[in-house]
């Protein structure tokens, strides 16, 4: 059974994951209308992944005797000056999510809710991966600079990341 404090904190994280999904969906739309098909596909995949993170939390809360409450969301940014600005925003957002997960883990530790603490370890590991991916992408963008040919190749490469991420895991 979840404490009220942990239920509230998990509900806050549900909202953050939902807003993450919407943010990345908005980024996908911006990329798509700007002819960046690979980036758009990557962002669509990221949006789907964030929704899955949200659903995993929802199920956990409800199964542990809590009640997940679906709330309104903040409207995401819909336009960017450059794709680099968009990926910088993505990286900053991932840092924000990591901080939120860390705060949540801290609450579970303080309340000695080791089941939820253990459940959240998946999110901790996931955020390490998300931050590393975003940082790696920014590093590549900085290498490209203003090279349009580099942007074309980057757009194709990032589409391959999206395809690989959505492929079923080998058994």
Half-sphere exposure of 58 (CA within 13 A, CB side): 14
94 in a labelled binding site? yes
159 in a labelled binding site? no
Q: Find out whether 116 and 64 touch, Cβ atoms under 8 Å.
A: yes
Structure-derived torsion over alpha carbons of residues 160, 166, 58, 65, reported in degrees to the nearest 10: -140
CA angle 105, 70, 118 (to 5 degrees): 20
Q: Find out whether 73 and 19 touch, Cβ atoms under 8 Å.
A: yes
What is the Cα–Cα distance from 101 to 48, expressed in whole angstroms?
A: 19
| Closest to 13 (Cα-Cα) out of 89, 93, 97 | 97
50 in a labelled binding site? yes
117 in a labelled binding site? no
53 in a labelled binding site? yes
* Residue with token string 């395809």: 163
Burial of 46 (0-12, 13-18, 19+ CB in 10 A): buried
Q: Which residues are annotated as a binding site?
A: 17, 50, 53, 94, 127
Q: Which residues are annotated as a binding site for Fe cation?
A: 17, 50, 53, 94, 127
């Amino acid at each position: 059974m979840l404490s009220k404090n942990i239920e509230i904190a998990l509900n806050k994280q549900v909202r953050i994951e939902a807003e993450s999904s919407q943010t990345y969906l908005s980024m996908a739309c911006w990329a798509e209308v700007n002819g960046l098909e690979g980036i758009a596909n990557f962002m669509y995949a990221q949006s789907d992944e964030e929704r899955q993170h949200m659903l995993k939390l929802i199920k956990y809360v409800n199964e542990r005797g809590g009640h997940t409450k679906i709330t309104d969301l903040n409207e995401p940014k819909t336009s960017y000056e450059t794709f680099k600005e968009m990926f910088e925003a993505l990286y900053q957002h991932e840092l924000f999510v990591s901080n939120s997960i860390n705060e949540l883990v801290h609450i579970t530790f303080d309340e000695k809710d080791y089941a939820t603490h253990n459940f959240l370890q998946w999110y901790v590991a996931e955020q390490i991966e998300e931050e590393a991916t975003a940082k790696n992408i920014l590093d590549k963008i900085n290498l490209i600079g203003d090279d349009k040919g580099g942007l074309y190749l980057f757009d194709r490469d990032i589409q391959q990341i999206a395809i690989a991420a959505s492929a079923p895991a080998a058994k």
